[in-house]
Structures are given as structure tokens and as C-alpha cells.
Chain A
Amino acid sequence: MRVPIIGVGAVASVGRDADEIFANLCAGRGGLGPMRGFDGERYNGKQLFEIDDRPEQGADRPLRATAFLLDAVAQAAADAGLGDDLSGVPVLVGTGLRELRSAELWWRDGAPFGADRLHFGTALRERFGTTDTLTVSNACSASLYTLALGADLLAAGEADTVIVAGVDSITESMHGLADRVQPNPPTALRTLDVNRRGTILGDGAAAVVLRGEHVRWPGGRLWGRLRGVGMTCDAKHPTAPDPVQVAEAMRQAHRLAGTRPEDIDLVLLHGTGTPLNDLVEITAYGEVFGEAAGGPVLTGIKPMTGHTSGSAGLMSLVTTLQVMATGKVPPLVNLEQPIEEADGLRLVRGQEAKHEVALAQVHGFGFGGVNAVAIVEGS
């Protein structure tokens, strides 16, 4: 499989579009700040990676996730030369938290909201005329799951063009439940660091446009090609990840892509900064890559974007495509002392690195043990 990727879009705390996000990531500039939409008095952890689009601090409004999604999809469509009429284009959206933040504001504060806005199809139809849309709520691997579904749809010949996207805005329920068990909350997100203390959530959306392998198109840019996506489920624990099926997702991705670990130049880690996720991820990586583990450079963007949940996988994919286009690799900021299991690995630390990348592996793992790994090659 070599599915062309012909458009990208993203919005996050660190930038309003894919270019601005990438420039800030390469410069090591993160988006962590005092929480703006929630009442800080109620939480131990008072910092989040939010998109600063609210009228005033401490006041929130509904449908922010929807707005982020529409923005990212519009960017990707424009980048691909598709314009704003997407009536014949399936749009598959991966999300962890849907518009549940709006449901919270509706129930608690009486904000206007209806069940037709919980999923994203209604807003996508209003804005782009789409009628074949999908909201997949697959926690933090959701957007790599939709990437797989989009590629499968093209392979089945059911569409010429597919947009896959991911989105999340932070819910108070998810942040509040994490806060409940973290009386000493993390002040920074430290992927693979011995002193990592947990994750910090972020707002974000990302989208890419996929085209059928044999379809000609008039505009857009060939960013790269999707080679394969592996999808597995731990079937073990609702919140604690398991290295067995995480490793199997990587192996499956390579089988589907027809690649080997020694072919990989770059790994974009899921890297949430929680004690268990980082350990499981790097253990599974070491097991699958074996002697080739010291080959690729490894980095991750969550220390600067926060954990953007449903959009995280595609946010990493968009970053990967930009690495391939520029040869610049954003650093794993906040990484001072790597864990023992990461010894001997080529972690990008301190500042941006230069590295030519032809083939990359992108990780997405989520609550419920839903794992997805994508292999992508440069153009």
C-alpha cells in the first residue's frame, strides 16, 4: 500500500496551522499555560495546553472541539486544492472526548446544546456539505484508527479521496478525574524522563487528505505516502497499557507496509509522560526492533503540545511529514535524564536535530488498550 497524502492541517496550543506548529516545535516552544476555561480554584493541576480562543479566563463556551476540527479540515482541504465543497468526500474523525465538553456545560450551566452536536457529522455537513462522515471515539489512538479506516476505504474502491481527522478539547471530567489521583500534579510533561510524573491534556485537531493510489489529481502537494497501519487491542485492562499487543501493533504495521524495523529512520513516540505508558511503549519498541533499536531517531511532541488525545496520532503524523519535507526534527524538550530502558536509543534532546527521513513509524495508544501504529514514507 502506498496511499498518497496530499494535504495537511492542524491547530494546537503551539500554533494556528501546521506550519506555525512545526516552527514552534522545532524551536522548542511549548503551549503550557494557566488553565483558561476551568475554575483553577478547584484543581491541584492548574496548567493545561489549551488553544487560547475563549473570551475571558475562567469562562468557557460550547462547541470548541467542533471549531478546531472544522479549522483543521479546512486547512487540509485547501492544502490539497479541494476547496470548501467536500460533498463527495468521506470525512472520518477520530476523537477521545467528542463534544462531551459541551455536554458538561449544558448539564452544569445550561449552555445551549443538543444530541445532534455530540458527533461531528452535523457541523461537517453544514460547513462542507459532507454526508458520509464518521465519528470514531477511540481514545488517544482514535485518529490513527481513522487513518487506517480511510486507507481501507480507498483500497476497497469506495472513494477516490478521503479526509481523516482527529480532534479533542479538554473535558473537565477527564482532567478532574486525573487531578483526583494526582495531589502532586506534574508541572511539565516529561516523556521518557526518570522524573516524569504524568500527562497534561491539550486541545488540538489535525487532518490529512488521502487519495487513491491510482487517482490523478489536479492540485495539492504530495507530502508522503501511507504504507500501512496496524491496529490491535490489549483486551487486558481499561486504563493500564500492555506491551504485548502494543508490540503486535508495530509488527502488524510492518507486515502491512512490507517494511522491516531496520528500514525506519524516525519514530514519533506516543510518549504521554505517564510512568506506565512510556515504559510500556519503549519496552515494546525495544522488543520489536531488537538490534535495530539504535537505528532510528526518536522524538515526541507531547511535552510541547500536551496530550491532545484523539488528535494526537495525526498531530504526530503531520509533524512526521514536515520532518520528511525539511530534514528538521523537533526535540523531546524537558528530557533531562532518560529512563534506563531508553539507554542506547537516539533520542532527540535539547534542540532541533537535522536528520534525513525516508521512512517513519508513528505511534498512538489509548485508554481501553486500543493501539495503532502507522508507517509512512516521504515523497
Chain B
Amino acid sequence: MMMTVTGVGVALPGADSATALATASRPGDPVEPAAVLGKKGLRYKDRATQLGLCAAQRVLTDAGLLADGVLTVDGTRTAVLVSSNLGNVDTVCRVVRTIADEGTHGVSPMDTPNASSNIIASEIAIRWGLKGPNLMLCNGPASGLDAIRWGAALLRSGRADHVVVVGVEPDNEIARALVGGPLVDGAAALVLERAETAEARGATVRAVIGAHTRGPDVAGTIGELAEVEAEPAAWYAPAAAVPALSEGLPVHDLAAVWGELSGALGVVQCAAAIGALDAGADGPMWLVAGTDSDDGVATLVLRPPAPAAARPSPAGV
């Protein structure tokens, strides 16, 4: 069963598309959610949710699942899978400080939904009526690539026909203090579908999802990958992973451009790799999230879509 990527959405500072992401060398202006989504319905939503909604709207549109604001596929067969580690940490910390200073009469009931980490995934479902499995992964440095693995698993098990995968992190004082440095303030998103689903609705395949591995260290996990995948054309990996990677190939350390990407990393890597494929890069892209000092390392391969001429024609001639 072949899994494909049929849409890419980007909402990073100064980058609003896979192409812009692939060539970006430093962050630009912050994302303005009202400019992307309109002002309606943004009040009381935390920054991570707003950024997630921006990337989701762009990916749904890019994949053709949304046309003129209307869903073109069955919402009950569409899953949402979001990865974010720091998403609602600011709300939770702010509320507990208010309680200490003023008691519970000082807190706003409007913060209630944001006290639960899955608010980002549920708000994306609410906005577009996506009623399939709805999952919020908060799984540390590897979380973004984990999200793609588990999104593909939802397709493989037949639980969904379309999966919207979003990686998002907000930049704020509390999150910065927790991770000890500057953070990205943005999101990226993919739509995953089985190849036959994509073909049946005439979608453009942007990349084919290859093998994934998860294990204790970078060298071991990419070693496992090498047993089943062709040599990489480029790496997307954290700087700390570089000593274990094969030499002579381009290595893209996206955190060096955007700051800490945390749970958004794997999804942003995929979006950037697809931007490179769109621009004519050839060969498989190997992605690594997590390092030897984390709880686990995840890898994933994205292959270029098969050229149209290589596909058998429906009539077999």
C-alpha cells in the first residue's frame, strides 16, 4: 500500500509556501492569522491554535480538499493529527500564576479549552468539519516525524482516507524559558493519502512516503533505513546528528534557520523537502528528528513522485 503526500501548507514567519520554505535563509515577518483566516473566530484561541489553523487552511486548499471554503471530501473519513510540545504550556503557566496572585476568580473561563493540550487538533476539526480520528501528539523532539508515521498508520488501517498532519509551535516568553532559546513561531502541514485515493480524485502526488524507523540513536536508525531505501540525495537533520550522516551530501538543519522547532520539526522538514522536490531536486530525501541524547530518534524517507511518463496508462496501452 503506497502512501503519498498530496498537499503542503506552510505558515512560518515570512514563508507561506513549500517553495518559500525551501529557499528561506532566515525568518521574516510574523504570521498574521487574521490575514490568512479572517478575523472571525480567532478571539480566545491561543497562538499555537491560530498558527495551526493557518497551516491547515493552506494545506486543505493546496490538496484540493477545500474549494471555496467547502470540503470536497467526506469529513468523517478525514483525520487530523497535530504535533506540538509547547502548544498550551503558556496558558497553563499563566493561569496557575493568576490563581496564586488572585485566586480562581481572577482566571477567565475562556481559557478552559486551552488548558487541554488537544485544543489545536480539535479546533482544526471544528473549523472544517473533520470528524475522523483526531489525535494530538506531544511526543518530544521526534514528534513531528512520529505524526507522519502515525498518520500513515491511520490510512493503512483504513481508519481514514485523508489525514491532515500539522506540526506547530508558538513563540512566547514561557516556552522560550522552558526550551532555553528562541523558538519558531509557526506551523507546517501535509495531507496524506493512499496512492489509490489520490489517483481516484485526481490529486497531484507531491511525494511518496518511504520507510520510517525509530530507535535509540541516529547511527542505528539510519542504518536500518539503509537496508530498505536507496541512498539519500539530501539530509534534513538536526546539527547534532551530522557526525552520523554520510558525507558529501547537503544537510539541512532547519533549526539553524528558524530556531527551536520542537514538535513542528518533522513536518517542517517534510514541507521543505517537498519544496526542494518541487524545484527539481531528485532522489530520496532522508529526514531525521531527535538525537542520541533524546528519548528516541525517528527517521523517514520522502521519495519524489514517479514521473507521469513512467506510470502505466489506465487503458494499458
A residues lining the B interface (CB < 8 Å): 42-44, 96-98, 100, 103-104, 106-108, 113-116, 118-119, 121-122, 124-125, 130-139, 145, 148-149, 152-153, 155-156, 171-174, 176-181, 231-239, 245, 248, 366-370
Q: Which of B126, B154, B159, B215 contacts A132 (CB 8 A)?
A: B215
Q: B178 an interface residue at 8 Å Cβ cutoff? A: yes
Known A-B contacts A122-B295, A131-B296, A236-B126; the reply to A368 vs B140 at CB < 8 A is: no
**Shortest distance in angstroms between A244's beta carbon and chain B's nearest beta carbon?**
9
Whether A238 contacts B104 by the Cβ 8 Å rule is no
25 contacts between A and B (CB under 8 A): A44-B104, A97-B116, A98-B117, A103-B89, A103-B93, A107-B174, A118-B86, A118-B138, A118-B178, A119-B138, A125-B295, A125-B296, A131-B296, A133-B295, A133-B296, A134-B150, A138-B134, A176-B107, A177-B95, A177-B107, A177-B109, A233-B122, A233-B134, A366-B118, A369-B134
B108-131 CB mask vs A (1 if < 8 Å, else 0) is 110111011111011101101111
Whether B122 contacts A368 by the Cβ 8 Å rule is yes
Query: What are the residues of chain B within 8 A of A44 when measuring CB–CB?
Result: 104
Whether A118 contacts B140 by the Cβ 8 Å rule is yes
Query: What are the residues of chain B within 8 A of A139 when measuring CB–CB?
Result: 116, 118
Q: B204 an interface residue at 8 Å Cβ cutoff? A: no
Known A-B contacts A118-B89, A121-B296; the reply to A43 vs B116 at CB < 8 A is: no
Number of interface residues of B (CB under 8 A): 67
Known A-B contacts A103-B178, A134-B137; the reply to A233 vs B157 at CB < 8 A is: no
Query: What are the residues of chain A within 8 A of B121 when measuring CB–CB?
Result: 368
Query: What are the residues of chain A within 8 A of B157 when measuring CB–CB?
Result: 152, 155-156
Known A-B contacts A108-B97, A119-B143; the reply to A138 vs B119 at CB < 8 A is: no
Query: What are the residues of chain A within 8 A of B122 when measuring CB–CB?
Result: 233, 235, 238, 367-370
Known A-B contacts A121-B296, A180-B109; the reply to A136 vs B136 at CB < 8 A is: yes
Whether B138 contacts A135 by the Cβ 8 Å rule is yes
**Shortest distance in angstroms between A298's beta carbon and chain B's nearest beta carbon?**
26
Query: What are the residues of chain A within 8 A of B135 when measuring CB–CB?
Result: 136, 138, 145
B65-103 CB mask vs A (1 if < 8 Å, else 0) is 000000000011000100001101101110111011001
Query: What are the residues of chain B within 8 A of A234 when measuring CB–CB?
Result: 125-126, 131
**Shortest distance in angstroms between B220's beta carbon and chain A's nearest beta carbon?**
9
Cα distance A173–B80 when bound, in Å? 26
Q: B139 an interface residue at 8 Å Cβ cutoff? A: yes
Whether A137 contacts B178 by the Cβ 8 Å rule is no
Whether B115 contacts A171 by the Cβ 8 Å rule is yes
Cα distance A132–B147 when bound, in Å? 13
Q: Which of A131, A180, A245 contacts B105 (CB 8 A)?
A: A180
**Shortest distance in angstroms between B157's beta carbon and chain A's nearest beta carbon?**
4
Cα distance A115–B85 when bound, in Å? 8
Query: What are the residues of chain B within 8 A of A108 when measuring CB–CB?
Result: 93, 96-97, 100
Cα distance A368–B117 when bound, in Å? 10
Q: B232 an interface residue at 8 Å Cβ cutoff? A: no
Whether B136 contacts A137 by the Cβ 8 Å rule is yes
Whether B178 contacts A115 by the Cβ 8 Å rule is yes
The 5 tightest CB contacts between A and B, nearest first, are: A368-B122, A121-B295, A233-B134, A107-B93, A238-B113
Chain A CB within 10 A, most for which of B76, B104, B178 = B104
Q: Which of A96, A113, A133, A239 contacts B113 (CB 8 A)?
A: A239
Known A-B contacts A107-B93, A115-B179, A233-B133; the reply to A370 vs B85 at CB < 8 A is: no
- When C-beta atoms are compared, the residue in chain A nearest to B96 turns out to be A104
Query: What are the residues of chain B within 8 A of A149 when measuring CB–CB?
Result: 150, 153
Chain B CB within 10 A, most for which of A125, A148, A180, A233 = A233
Query: What are the residues of chain B within 8 A of A118 when measuring CB–CB?
Result: 85-86, 89, 138, 140, 178
Q: B214 an interface residue at 8 Å Cβ cutoff? A: yes
Whether B99 contacts A124 by the Cβ 8 Å rule is no
B243-268 CB mask vs A (1 if < 8 Å, else 0) is 00000000000000000001000000
Whether A233 contacts B125 by the Cβ 8 Å rule is yes
**Shortest distance in angstroms between A154's beta carbon and chain B's nearest beta carbon?**
11
Query: What are the residues of chain B within 8 A of A156 when measuring CB–CB?
Result: 153, 156-157
- When C-beta atoms are compared, the residue in chain A nearest to B44 turns out to be A238
Q: B294 an interface residue at 8 Å Cβ cutoff? A: yes
- When C-beta atoms are compared, the residue in chain A nearest to B110 turns out to be A177
Whether A100 contacts B118 by the Cβ 8 Å rule is no
Whether A173 contacts B96 by the Cβ 8 Å rule is yes
Whether B136 contacts A131 by the Cβ 8 Å rule is no
Whether B295 contacts A152 by the Cβ 8 Å rule is no
**Shortest distance in angstroms between A1's beta carbon and chain B's nearest beta carbon?**
10
Whether B86 contacts A115 by the Cβ 8 Å rule is yes
Cα distance A232–B125 when bound, in Å? 11
B268-285 CB mask vs A (1 if < 8 Å, else 0) is 000000000000000000
Whether A181 contacts B131 by the Cβ 8 Å rule is no
Q: B146 an interface residue at 8 Å Cβ cutoff? A: yes
Query: What are the residues of chain A within 8 A of B132 when measuring CB–CB?
Result: 231-233
Q: B216 an interface residue at 8 Å Cβ cutoff? A: yes
Cα distance A218–B215 when bound, in Å? 26
Query: What are the residues of chain A within 8 A of B131 when measuring CB–CB?
Result: 232-235, 245, 248
Query: What are the residues of chain B within 8 A of A236 when measuring CB–CB?
Result: 126
Chain B CB within 10 A, most for which of A97, A119, A125 = A119
Cα distance A239–B75 when bound, in Å? 20
